[in-house]
Amino acid sequence: MDSSHELVEAFAQAVPAALREWAGVEAFVRECSPASAVDPGAGLVARIGLRMASGEGRLELFLPEQTAAELARRVLAGTVDPMAEDLVRDCMGEVANVVAGHAKALLVGRPSHFTLSTPVVRSGGPMEGTGGWVIRFESDAGAFGVHLLPPG
């Protein structure tokens, strides 16, 4: 298995596991396909750089605003009400960080093992660059997706 497929497989497993353990959210892969042009539309994009022996890649977790707010509500377990927009953004950065941490643990000792950067969260819109893979998920908190761009 090449490192690109290894990375996709790790994130397809890590996303549902991390959300179940951390937020009590059940998620499953709806679709996984090569990315051509990814436009997540309105919402939030949490980006984390992935540094591997073969170069730099990235993870972009894209979430509609409603899904992001529901995930934040579950992660924070009702400790904050109402949920401020900046808190939702910070929480989505942490969700991306936890997901990447789970995937990193799955890849220990493999060619696609990586270190990760600090998450950066921005408003949605077209992804920066093309290529890689898109994994779309359904969950009881709403639909969302992951854009993985392995080192090229």
Is the model's pLDDT at 128 over the cut of 90?
no
Classify domain 3-149 at the CATH topology level: Chemotaxis protein chec (3.40.1550)
* Contact present, 31 and 145 (Cβ < 8 Å): no
Domain locations in the chain? Answer: 3-149
pLDDT tens per residue, range 57-67: 999 999 999 99
Q: What is the pLDDT of residues 72-102, one digit of tens each?
A: 989 888 676 667 888 899 999 999 999 999 9
pLDDT of residue 66: 93
Q: 50 with 152: CB under 8 angstroms?
A: no
How confident is the model at residue 1, as a pLDDT? 52
Peptide bond before residue 82 is cis, with ω within 30 degrees of 0: yes
What value does the mean pLDDT take over residues 35-44?
A: 70
Give the separation between CA 65 and CA 130, rounded to whole angstroms: 23
- What pLDDT sits at residue 59? 93
- pTM value is 0.90
Q: What share of the chain in percent tops pLDDT 90?
A: 65
